[in-house]
Amino acid sequence: GMLLWGGFSPSSLLTRTSLCRISSHNSLLGSSSPGFTMKRNKEECIMRAACYDSHGGQTVRRMREDYPMPTRRKGWVLVKIMAAGVNPVDYKLCRGDVPSILVPKPKIFGGDLAGVVVECDEDSKKFKKGDKVFGMMEYKYTKWGTYAEMACVRESALARMPKNLSFPEAACLPLVTLTSIQALRRGGICEKSRGQLKGKRILIHAGSGGVGSVAIQLARHFGLYVITTCSAKNAAFAKSLGANEVVDYRAQKFEEELKNNPVDFVFDVMGADIEKRSHQIIKQTKGSAYMTILTNGMFEYFEGWGRFKKPAAYTWGLGHYSWKLTKQLFMGPAYSVTIVQPCGEDMEYARDLVEKGILKPQLAKTYPFNRFNEALSEVAEGHCRGKLAIEIAGGGSGGSVRDDSSVSSARRLPVIDGKQSDGADEKKAGGMAGGIR
């Protein structure tokens, strides 16, 4: 076999298992075509990847040593993945929450990544070989993912990594940060409107979760008064992120606590019953906004419907969101549903916030690659504190789970109203907290 790769020597970047398994001279020749091609005779270019071939639970998740490497084309970037972020959507897709027509199988897990550019367009103005990058891959209509040694990502989906973050820290940011930025923007909360937002109130649900912990930091940056829901044990953590008030959802009903003082904005990542209750405490005036994301909360209504569960849930969801989006045209607050999209410009904005100390990643644990199944199971249980990451490079065989909750915690403390938090509340709470949504 012979690998034709555009004049690039990968020895300094690629691990042994990522290289083309060839028995002859390992010749690397120039190519006039963009990206690389390969002669697939008896040998293939293969890599290690965590994937699934059918829907199910832990038993269908597997590590493959012979997954074909992706082929780069113009406008895309070949990235050696150093770390991948873990999100609930990763196990939910494997479970079958989204039909295969949208997310085909076999499928590599993951969408968040941080890594090193191996190859890009020669005339690229954004990247060059060796650049450290981070971003999110598209989940839909592709079998590729980020729990793998290599990935091809659209150039427009990536940004250079923040200089002050490690690969695992950077890898845990993309999906939750993009979701928060894009959802808040749809509700009119962004840099352009920052001057008009000061003093307005927002309720952010699940403030100690992955999306919520980022949304709190962004909302305070925009000048909003932040109220959030979380458990009592995570209250100090939420306040350390910038929350002004915390409602213990286990002991208090937020609609009762806020009924006499409605909020201007609601950011809801829960859906289902939470959405219904939240509409009771949002101002019914122009300028107020209810922001939500697509969740699997609708499945709760149809838990006992057997094989009709998914069709019923999808039908109900379509009708529900259509009605809400239509209703906003005539009465009440603005209503928006965000389906997160990869966006390099938003990642560049996030990088700037990180480097200025405004946005802090909340990395709790880093798993070695061969223990990816444990990471997915921990997220599925919903009891993990902060975000999880998987170390792809160097984390393939052996290795233990690294607890990052107390590592450089002072560096990750948020900036609140232009001042560095002293972290007293967080220390009382025992470090990082919160489940991942």
Q: What is the pLDDT of residues 173-209, one digit of tens each?
A: 999 999 999 999 999 999 999 999 998 999 999 999 8
Q: 399-432 in b/e burial notation, b at 16+ Cβ within 10 A? A: eeebebbeeebeebbbbbeeeebebebbeebebb
- CA-based torsion, 236, 180, 278, 97: positive or negative: negative
The residue among 8 and 234 whose pLDDT is bigger is 234
* CA distance to 82, 170, 229, 404, per residue, from 86 (Å): 14, 12, 23, 14
pLDDT at 398: 54
Closest CA to 216 of 360, 394, 31: 360
pLDDT at 44: 54
pLDDT at 271: 81
pLDDT digits (tens, 9 = 90+) for 104-128: 999 999 999 999 999 999 999 999 9
148, pLDDT greater than 50: yes
Q: For residues 301-309, give the mean pLDDT.
A: 63
Using the structure block, give the residue that is written with the tokens 């940004």: 159
pTM: 0.80
pLDDT at 80: 97
Closest CA to 385 of 363, 407, 413, 414: 363
DSSP 36: E
How would residue 162 be classed by pLDDT, with cut points 50, 70 and 90?
Answer: very high
pLDDT at 60: 97
Q: Which of 30-39, 98-107, 212-221, 267-276 has the highest mean pLDDT?
A: 212-221
Closest CA to 151 of 63, 100, 82, 61: 82
Residue 113 · residue 83 · CB < 8 Å: yes
Please tell me the distance from the alpha carbon of residue 124 to that of residue 77, in angstroms, as a whole number: 10
pLDDT at 260: 95
Residue 210 dihedral angles phi and psi, to the nearest 5°: -60, -55
Q: For residues 55-66, give the mean pLDDT.
A: 95
* CA distance to 124, 149, 360, 402, 403, per residue, from 363 (Å): 32, 21, 9, 10, 9
State the average pLDDT for the chain.
81
pLDDT at 78: 97
Q: For residues 372-385, give the mean pLDDT.
A: 86
Q: For residues 384-400, give the mean pLDDT.
A: 75
155, pLDDT greater than 90: yes
pLDDT at 323: 60
pLDDT digits (tens, 9 = 90+) for 251-301: 999 999 999 999 999 999 988 789 889 999 999 888 899 999 976 555 555
7, pLDDT greater than 60: no
Q: For residues 425-435, give the mean pLDDT.
A: 33
β-bridge partners, 203: 227, 266
Exposed, middle or buried, 324 (CB in 10 Å: 0-12/13-18/19+)? middle
